[in-house]
């Protein structure tokens, strides 16, 4: 009986520890579903070849893999976010993309560049792809989601909202997790019949409808760049200041007013993440 209790407590700790990083499972799933739908023929076939056989060519089903291996691959945990100086509301690669020991390039932007570079060797490699390129694809797909979560480019002292306790309606919550998961989940419940497929369909309709004229701009990087994560990170910290942190303090009760203002921001960030993941993979495998 004691053993069972210990096991339940440990599993609970593991569950909550894991749930503090990345968009939640739904956020990453949505980003990867949007992305895979937009792949060119050559990118689609490279992705299919790189994905493990058991996922049946479904990138979204492994889009949260990087969160599950954070403990096995301890080095990977600082690759999920960027800490920026408190209250500045901007991001600078040289200043901010480093880990707690000051190691340069160790942040979500550096990780996106690194795994994109690794995948560029795919074309040169032989017909049997190495395991490493499979992991590179899964890391890149996950981190492209993370860098679009506004609070994954947050303030240093509150660890991207991880130390700010709030209420999400009647429940205790952490601000970071509100943006990883609560806003998406409440949106699904309130507007999409608790069905993620309905939400994905609606976001895809926005891409071809209301947002169509902006998509090319979202996809593009400067000449010669395969991906441009510093731009994505800069947008995130601005959104964090304008929306996530705005008027929020320890103990704030976040309900309809905050939810309804934040939901369009979250939807836009998810869509941009998916569009840019596809654009990056299309350039890599083009």
> Interface residues with ligand ADE (CB under 6 A)?
21, 80-81, 83, 151-152, 154, 159-160, 162
Q: Which is nearer to ligand ADE, 83 or 230 (CB)?
A: 83
Terminal-to-terminal C-alpha distance of the chain: 57
| Window of 1-9, 94-102, 174-182, 245-253 that interacts with Zn ion by CB under 5 A | 174-182
Q: Taking the complex as a whole, how short is the minimal distance between the CB of residue 96 and ligand ADE, in angstroms? A: 11
Q: Is residue 180 a contact point for Zn ion (CB under 5 A)? A: yes
| Window of 78-86, 115-123, 202-210, 236-244 that interacts with Zn ion by CB under 5 A | 78-86
Q: Taking the complex as a whole, how short is the minimal distance between the CB of residue 55 and ligand ADE, in angstroms? A: 26
Residues ≥6 apart with Cβ < 8 Å to 93:
109, 110, 230
Q: Which residue is nearest to ligand ADE (CB)?
A: 160
Q: Is residue 236 a contact point for Zn ion (CB under 5 A)? A: no
Helical spans, DSSP H, in the chain: 2-18, 25-36, 41-50, 65-68, 93-96, 108-119, 131-146, 175-177, 183-191, 196-208, 212-219, 229-239, 256-284
Q: Which is nearer to ligand ADE, 154 or 187 (CB)?
A: 154
Q: Taking the complex as a whole, how short is the minimal distance between the CB of residue 61 and Zn ion, in angstroms? A: 16
Residue 22's SS3 state is coil
| Two structure tokens written together for 278 | 């596809």
Work out what residue 83 binds among Zn ion, ligand ADE, none; the CB cut-off runs from 5 to 8 Å by kind: ligand ADE
Q: How many residues bind Zn ion (CB under 5 A)?
A: 5
Q: Is residue 22 a contact point for Zn ion (CB under 5 A)? A: yes
Closest by Cα among 286, 276, 270, 120 to 185 = 270
Residue of 33, 80, 98, 269 that binds Zn ion (CB under 5 A)? 80
Determine whether 63 is exposed, middle or buried from the number of CB atoms within 10 Å of its CB (0-12, 13-18, 19+). buried
Distance CA 44, CA 36 (A): 7
Residues ≥6 apart with Cβ < 8 Å to 89:
237, 238, 240, 241
Work out what residue 180 binds among Zn ion, ligand ADE, none; the CB cut-off runs from 5 to 8 Å by kind: Zn ion
Distance CA 254, CA 173 (A): 10
Count of CB atoms within 10 A of residue 12's CB?
10
Q: Taking the complex as a whole, how short is the minimal distance between the CB of residue 28 and ligand ADE, in angstroms? A: 14
Q: Taking the complex as a whole, how short is the minimal distance between the CB of residue 69 and ligand ADE, in angstroms? A: 16
Q: Taking the complex as a whole, how short is the minimal distance between the CB of residue 166 and ligand ADE, in angstroms? A: 16
Residues in touch with Zn ion (CB under 5 A)? 21-22, 80, 146, 180
């Amino acid at each position: 009986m004691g053993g069972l209790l210990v096991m339940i407590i440990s599993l609970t700790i593991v569950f909550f520890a894991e749930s503090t990083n990345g968009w939640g499972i739904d956020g990453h799933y949505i980003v990867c579903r949007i992305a895979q739908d937009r792949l060119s023929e050559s990118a689609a076939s490279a992705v299919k070849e790189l994905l493990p056989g058991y996922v049946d060519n479904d990138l979204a089903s492994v889009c949260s893999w990087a969160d599950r291996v954070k403990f096995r691959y301890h080095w990977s945990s600082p690759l999920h976010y960027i800490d920026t100086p408190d209250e500045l509301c901007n991001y600078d690669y040289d200043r901010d993309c480093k880990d707690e020991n000051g190691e340069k390039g160790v942040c979500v932007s550096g990780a996106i560049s690194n795994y994109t570079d690794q995948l560029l060797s795919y074309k040169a490699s032989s017909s049997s792809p190495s395991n490493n390129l499979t992991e590179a694809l899964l890391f890149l797909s996950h981190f492209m989601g993370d860098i679009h979560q506004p609070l994954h480019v947050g303030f240093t002292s509150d660890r991207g909202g991880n130390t700010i306790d709030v209420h999400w309606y009647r429940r205790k919550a952490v601000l970071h997790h509100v943006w990883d998961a609560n806003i998406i989940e409440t949106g699904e419940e309130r507007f999409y019949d608790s069905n993620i497929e309905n939400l994905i369909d609606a976001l895809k309709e926005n891409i071809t409808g209301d947002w169509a004229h902006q998509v090319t701009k979202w996809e593009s990087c400067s000449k010669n760049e395969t991906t441009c994560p510093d731009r994505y990170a800069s947008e995130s910290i601005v959104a964090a200041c304008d929306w996530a942190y705005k008027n929020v303090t320890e103990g704030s009760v976040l309900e309809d007013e905050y939810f309804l203002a934040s939901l369009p921001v979250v939807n836009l960030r998810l869509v941009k993440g998916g569009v840019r993941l596809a654009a990056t993979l299309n350039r890599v495998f083009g």
